[in-house]
Amino acid sequence: MKKAGMVILLAGIVLLVAVGLYFFFVFFLLDPDIYWFIKLPVVLVVMGLLLVLISVITDRARENDRYKEVER
């Protein structure tokens, strides 16, 4: 039950991010009234946040406990 909930949650998050990126691309990047020196930093920040989010998710997905064998 827990894994099914996580799969559904992850699917919802992926869909929200995909739709958000689509609208970001269509309405922000393709707008000719916005200058390139404003678009570039915004694009870099969005890409950086996505990379950090992906790296955190992959690190959390690995269930390697380094201290599993250590006794307290």
**Residue 40 domain boundaries:** 2-61
| pLDDT interval class at 64 (50, 70, 90) | low
Judge whether 71 lies within some domain: no
Sign of torsion over alpha carbons 38, 40, 43, 48? negative
Strand, helix or coil at 72?
Answer: coil
CA–CA distance, 42 with 21 (Å, rounded to integer): 12
**pTM strictly above 0.75:** no
Q: Position of tokens 């919802």? A: 12
Q: Mean pLDDT for the chain? A: 86
Our measurement of the distance from residue 51's CA atom to the centroid of its chain's CA atoms, rounded to an integer in Å, reads 7
| 72 within some domain | no
State mean pLDDT over 7-16.
Answer: 93
Is 40 a member of any domain?
Answer: yes
DSSP 8-state secondary structure symbol assigned to residue 67: T
The total domain count for the chain is 1
12: in domain: yes
